[in-house]
Amino acid sequence: MIGAGFAGLSAVRHLRGQPVEVTIVDHHNFHTFQPLLYQVATAGLDPADVAYPVRTIFGREANVVFRHGRAESVDMETRRVVLADGGSLDYDRLVVATGATTGFFAVPGAARYSLPLYTLADARRLRNHILGCLEAADARPEDFDDGAPTFVVVGGGATGVEMSGALVELLDVAVRRDRLRIDPHRSRVILLEAGDRLLSGFKQEASRYAAQTLLARRVDVRLRTPVAEVSKDGVRLGDQWMKAAAVIWAGGVTVDGTLAASLPIAHGRGGRVTLEPDLTVTGHPEVFVVGDAAAVPWGPSRPEACPQVAQVAIQSGAHAARQIVRQIAGQRTSPFAYHDKGLMATIGRHAAVAQLRRGPIWRGTIGWLAWLGLHLVYLVGFRNRAVVLINWWWRYLDWPSGPRLIVADVEADL
Amino acid sequence: MIGAGFAGLSAVRHLRGQPVEVTIVDHHNFHTFQPLLYQVATAGLDPADVAYPVRTIFGREANVVFRHGRAESVDMETRRVVLADGGSLDYDRLVVATGATTGFFAVPGAARYSLPLYTLADARRLRNHILGCLEAADARPEDFDDGAPTFVVVGGGATGVEMSGALVELLDVAVRRDRLRIDPHRSRVILLEAGDRLLSGFKQEASRYAAQTLLARRVDVRLRTPVAEVSKDGVRLGDQWMKAAAVIWAGGVTVDGTLAASLPIAHGRGGRVTLEPDLTVTGHPEVFVVGDAAAVPWGPSRPEACPQVAQVAIQSGAHAARQIVRQIAGQRTSPFAYHDKGLMATIGRHAAVAQLRRGPIWRGTIGWLAWLGLHLVYLVGFRNRAVVLINWWWRYLDWPSGPRLIVADVEADL
């Protein structure tokens, strides 16, 4: 089992107590609850609220072992995973759940100058940078055009929408509660989307609601605005430069550059691994690829790839685990079928959209409560859930004391 | 006001609502509750549990302003503080509460190779390193002499005692709960103290109790054992090298190298600023130095310096604030007198020593509960207190899920 994301954890869960020895490998010693990373980046939650040690999750499972390390390559002929620290692991069956990575899509300067939001380290770096900008604007407003920082968010998917909604809330708290001397009418959050609507995976109605809500909260939403280049000082749109204190990259993900992309098998768009209907690799019934790393087919009669979302990761991981149990029992594997439970995105307090497979779209406070409840249910482990509840509760009561800390690994970086 | 440690916060608290405009400067945007840093280092608490944003603390005080920045120098003639970012602040009255820094006391290699525990960044780095060692020992025991890591703690003061007590508890949890394949009889914690007893500021009885308790918990306590040198691989004692996976430096603090030491005034041992009885600088009744940075006199009839502990910082900060109020009211300043409330150190669960000024020493579970209660009371802000309570409660209930995360700022560092 490579990867302790949603797909990997889900697979391991379904192998608990089965007649198999499971080793789960990850170069992080924790699982990251990625849907809430934007809250870490905007100082609403602590890093530890959205991360959970793998050993704690499976500490009581006799047939599960964690190996901390980075899987570097897989030799499918000898059935061996080679790790970056020189170790290796032999397998009878392998589940590759290595996920994706930030996709910069060859936009010049993006990889170097923009701040992605995909890992916990990304979220922490982003938080330090944003809070640092606000303090700098308080201390030396003359360093900024307009006397206040402009934040540009690139990408109008769920991450970009959630990030820009949370950013305006953070700005509000910074001015109103922390009394930072920043003119709220001068500090701007600009959301850039190349396509013609936000939340393109959602229904039109949800997209409209998201755009209207963000505009009402003073996010400058710009559709049909692709970014041509990123520099240290801002972004280029067509041939015009726009200054920004931070360029936050929520432009999408790719599998290129990850372990899954390096496997000597067929790959689809964005490097996603092409699979058999049962989620195995062609010619290797002992190798499964699940989650974001794979082009997971919707179902036997719908070969197109599912979106790279948590639900698909969780379901595909579970499917792989069940097929392994079947294989060991000498049974035939069955094809995967995705059960679309809907999509959700939050825009801020009292504003979210929840789109179920059938029926109306939930939005506003109802949508927000649905979003909140679902995320709490899915958060791994009770302790985290209790702490997240406390944090959110306080945040709801006017956010008196979020963890707005600027903490670097190295003192000299401050 | 320079510095948002115990002394600086205490001074600002006593100036709330007074007819003064207070600016508090710190290069961290948060106050650190230093007495609990060792718990962050051993993954019992999160960084945010022991750190609290200064703006949150004083967000409602109309006469208090926070300035994020590093004070680089003070010109006492023109009454100006110069900041590292090029800004400056003019003052009528100044309170220097810049604290101390880790003292390596010219031990070769100590500054470079040992891991100090003085700032929040130190604590996080230490945690990443310790947890990383444990994972490495699980994955590649052959990399370690004896097949398991040895941790050396240098310095038998409160920090060293608390750190080594917490380290053996972490090792126990790592093996018992996280099922790391480390032989608990091979992985060692060694506490080195140059003097002839631990907790030298305490009574003999407390020192003996601490040593006995640590020994019973399998900490290898070595008195009269000064460290001659530190290298990447361990420490040298006399002419013998001892291998260690980590050398944790709890050897003491110094004011040398800090802003206070650079002031053109008299300094005592360790660079501490020599003061008038009212805590002002000789010839500058408008400049106060308080907390660890100063050689705070015990009282009018006892000119010797108080120890560098939180109680002295809190009381001296408050005293400076009261004298400023008196000065402004045209009254004479009064001399400082330290009210020694006692000392406390914890060794682990159910084991602490609390030494009141009079009466018996509290120890064992009673001492531990006293220590726990006092620290909760002193922790700034309700939210932190609630979260710390939850963390401790869980820890007490067999520590199922401490925040044992290895999180770096840079992914590549993992």
CATH number for position A119: 3.50.50.100
Report the C-alpha gap between B259 and B267 in whole angstroms: 12
Q: Which of A114-118, A251-255, A347-351, B266-270 has the lowest mean pLDDT?
A: A347-351
Which sign, positive or negative, has the C-alpha torsion B297, B302, B306, B312? negative
Put simply, the chain A residues between 22 and 81 with a CB less than 8 A from any chain B CB are 27-30, 46-48, 51-53, 55-56, 59, 65, 67-70
Residue A338 placed within a domain: no
- C-alpha distances in Å from residue B151, one per residue of B159, B171, B207, B232, B235: 15, 10, 22, 13, 11
Interface mutation target, options B24, B134, B142, B178, chain A, most CBs of A under 10 Å: B178
Closest residue of chain B to A392, computed from CA coordinates:
B383
Count how many domains chain B has: 2
> What residues contact B240, with CB distance under 8 A and at least 6 apart?
none
B154 interface with A at CB cutoff 8 Å: no
Q: Which of B31, B26, B48, B29 is nearest to B39 (CA)?
A: B48
B21 included as an active-site residue: no
> What residues contact A297, with CB distance under 8 A and at least 6 apart?
A275, A277, A303, A304, A305, A306, A335, A336
Q: Which of A186-195, A242-251, B42-51, B151-160 has the lowest mean pLDDT?
A: B42-51
Hey, what amino acid is at A109? G
Contacts of A53 in chain B (CB under 8 A): 178, 401, 403-405
B84 interface with A at CB cutoff 8 Å: no
Residue A276 placed within a domain: yes
Contacts of A124 in chain B (CB under 8 A): 407, 409
Contacts of A26 in chain B (CB under 8 A): none
Percent of chain A with pLDDT over 90: 66
Do B233 and B261 have their domain in common? no
Do B74 and B120 have their domain in common? no
CA of B305 to nearest chain A CA: how many angstroms apart?
Answer: 29
Over range B276-304, report the average pLDDT.
95
Examine the fold and report which residue of A276, A293, A328 is the final residue of a domain before the chain moves on.
A328
Do B195 and B265 have their domain in common? no
pLDDT digit string (tens) for A56-104? 888 888 899 999 999 999 999 999 999 999 999 999 999 999 999 999 9
Do B231 and B302 have their domain in common? no
Do A97 and A136 have their domain in common? no
Hey, what amino acid is at A138? D
pLDDT digit string (tens) for A18-60? 999 999 999 999 999 898 899 899 988 888 878 888 988 888 8
CA of B410 to nearest chain A CA: how many angstroms apart?
Answer: 6
Q: Inform me whether the pLDDT recorded for B15 exceeds 80.
A: yes
pLDDT digit string (tens) for B311-370? 999 999 999 999 999 999 999 999 999 998 888 888 887 788 888 777 778 888 888 887
Q: Inform me whether the pLDDT recorded for A299 exceeds 60.
A: yes
User: Which residue, chain included where needed, has tokens 């599998």?
Assistant: A255
Q: Which of A111-125, B33-47, B198-212 has the lowest mean pLDDT?
A: B33-47
Over range A290-299, report the average pLDDT.
96
Residue A335 placed within a domain: no
Examine the fold and report which residue of A328, A359, A388 is the final residue of a domain before the chain moves on.
A328
Structure-token pair, residue B146: 């004896």
Residue B276 placed within a domain: yes
Do B312 and B354 have their domain in common? no
Q: Inform me whether the pLDDT recorded for A357 exceeds 80.
A: no
Domain CATH number, residue A16: 3.50.50.60
Residue A410 placed within a domain: no
Do A20 and A91 have their domain in common? yes
Report the C-alpha gap between A368 and B93 in whole angstroms: 50
Report the C-alpha gap between A398 and A396 in whole angstroms: 5
Residue A400 placed within a domain: yes
Over range B44-70, report the average pLDDT.
87
* Per-residue model confidence (pLDDT) at position A413: 45
Interface mutation target, options B383, B397, B398, chain A, most CBs of A under 10 Å: B383
Residue B41 placed within a domain: no
Q: Cβ–Cβ of B87/A125 closer than 8 Å?
A: no
Put simply, the chain A residues between 355 and 414 with a CB less than 8 A from any chain B CB are 381-384, 386-387, 390-391, 394, 400-401, 403-411, 413-414
Do A233 and A347 have their domain in common? yes
Q: Cβ–Cβ of B178/A56 closer than 8 Å?
A: yes
Domain interval for residue A47: 6-102+254-328
CA of A292 to nearest chain B CA: how many angstroms apart?
Answer: 19
Contacts of A48 in chain B (CB under 8 A): 46, 48, 403, 405
- The single residue of A72, A162, A169, A193 carrying the catalytic annotation is A162
Do A284 and A310 have their domain in common? yes
Which contiguous run of DSSP H or E holds residue A289?
strand A284-289
- pTM for the model: 0.89
Report the C-alpha gap between A351 and B293 in whole angstroms: 49
Do B117 and B205 have their domain in common? yes
Interface mutation target, options B29, B40, B130, chain A, most CBs of A under 10 Å: B29
Over range B384-406, report the average pLDDT.
59
Q: Cβ–Cβ of A30/B405 closer than 8 Å?
A: yes
Do B147 and B207 have their domain in common? yes
Q: Cβ–Cβ of B131/A29 closer than 8 Å?
A: yes
B288 interface with A at CB cutoff 8 Å: no
A87 interface with B at CB cutoff 8 Å: yes
A129 interface with B at CB cutoff 8 Å: no
Examine the fold and report which residue of A268, A294, A328 is the final residue of a domain before the chain moves on.
A328
Residue B356 placed within a domain: yes
Do B140 and B225 have their domain in common? yes
Report the C-alpha gap between B184 and A405 in whole angstroms: 36
Contacts of A44 in chain B (CB under 8 A): none
